[in-house]
Amino acid sequence: MQISNETSAETSTWLLQAKDILDEARRLKPGPERKELRETAKVLREIAKLEARSAQPDERDWPRDT
């Protein structure tokens, strides 16, 4: 499988950080610290989504044949 978008070919730094934080949270017993880590990972995943969306060219930016 070949990925056409160079950005999607690389794993986002934000997603890697989110994964590390979730791994750490899983080692903890349920409680406020674990919940905070899970919330942090959630925010990092959202940042990664926004970054990926902003890296894709908008249709309006493409030159049109006239």
pLDDT reading at 8 higher than 70: no
pLDDT reading at 60 higher than 90: no
Give the predicted TM-score (pTM) of the model. Answer: 0.69
Question: CB–CB of 5/56 below 8 Å?
Answer: yes
pLDDT reading at 2 higher than 50: no
pLDDT reading at 32 higher than 90: yes
- Return the exposure string of 1-14: e unless at least 16 CB atoms fall within 10 Å of the residue's CB, then b: eeeeeeeeeeebeb
pLDDT reading at 26 higher than 60: yes
The whole-number pLDDT of residue 62 equals 62
Please state the domain extents for the chain.
Answer: 12-54
